[in-house]
Amino acid sequence: MRIIFLLSLFIHVVCQAQTTENDTLIIVRKNPKKGFYSDYILFIPKETPLNKKLFLLVEPNNTGKTSDSISVHKQYAIDLASVSSVGNNISTMLKIPFLVPVFPRPSSKELVYTHALDRDVILEQSAEYKRLDLQLLEMINDSKSILRTMKIEVSNKIFMNGFSASATFTNRFSFLHPDKIKALAIGGFNGELMLPQDKINGIELNYPLGINDFFKLFNQKFDSETYKSIPQFIYMGQLDENDAVQFDDAYSQNERNIINANIGDNVQKRYIQCQKNYKQHNLNATFKNYQNVGHWTTSSMNFEVITFFFNKMK
């Protein structure tokens, strides 16, 4: 596999073949002038078609722990992109490029759960952590220019994938930018999904529980109709009890109280309730529950996710 450290806007690749010859990993340096304050990883699998419109796959990074060392988060992102992950399997099997941001998750700001795009992230004003959703959009735009120099063309809309915290990030990102997503797949997300409504049982649902203060935070209305059109594959293992809801870095005490009392006080209860809610709102979501599976994926699950995206490539 070739590894490229990208230091400038353009790379020059001369390729006479109709597909790429090798797996290629590009580490793109942060570029505040372009609107992103972290590096990102771009993986291009061998046999990626050239001069043909493809979809870019995007998966937020999820280190699984806090660290003030960006090298820790970078290594996890590199492994996610190129070694072993659902996203890498999708990219490799479908022959499409794969982008993974290297967002930090600092121990010095342990309540700012960057890898889940929580409320603290949205309220954060420091340049490095501010509006990571917009930073990711700029990374996507930048990657298109890089891929174009390699004769790889990608659609304006992306595929998006996530598991655990990155699933939560993907779920919330899709509410903010539904017009950017062709299809998404998420799993292992604590059973808790953002709901497309203002209130539940008379209680206001502010971000990230719902859309009550959506306009106040983002200066735009929630685009319900576009969101409904996004094909979503949403899955959980029946034995998955990994419950971030009960921890302060993921949710505030107020958010936790609302979730436990009105949606469910454990992962599987919430998952059932969120399924009902999404179906009531006529979202284009397919739900799957896997027996004898906890907070992990299996090869058969990965294949089902790959098949889902394959069927959306038309």
Identify the pLDDT of residue 6. 47
Task: Please give the model's pTM, rounded to 2 decimal places.
Answer: 0.94
Strand-pair category, 232-237 with 181-187 = parallel
Q: In this model, does residue 225 exceed pLDDT 80?
A: yes
Q: What is the dihedral of CA 52, 58, 63, 68, to 10 degrees?
A: 100
Cα distance between residue 290 and residue 98, in whole Å: 26
> How confident is residue 311, by pLDDT bands cut at 50, 70 and 90?
very high
| Rounded average pLDDT over 151-178 | 98
User: What mean pLDDT, rounded, does the chain reach?
Assistant: 94
Cα distance between residue 133 and residue 66, in whole Å: 19
Q: Which tokens is 213 given?
A: 């203060």
Domains of the chain: residue spans and CATH: 2-8+15-310 (3.40.50.1820)
| Rounded average pLDDT over 204-210 | 98
| Rounded average pLDDT over 206-224 | 98
Cα distance between residue 172 and residue 119, in whole Å: 10
Q: In this model, does residue 11 exceed pLDDT 50?
A: no
User: How does pLDDT run across 31-86, given as a tens digit for each residue?
Assistant: 999 999 999 999 999 999 999 999 999 999 999 999 999 999 999 999 999 987 99
Q: In this model, does residue 5 exceed pLDDT 90?
A: no
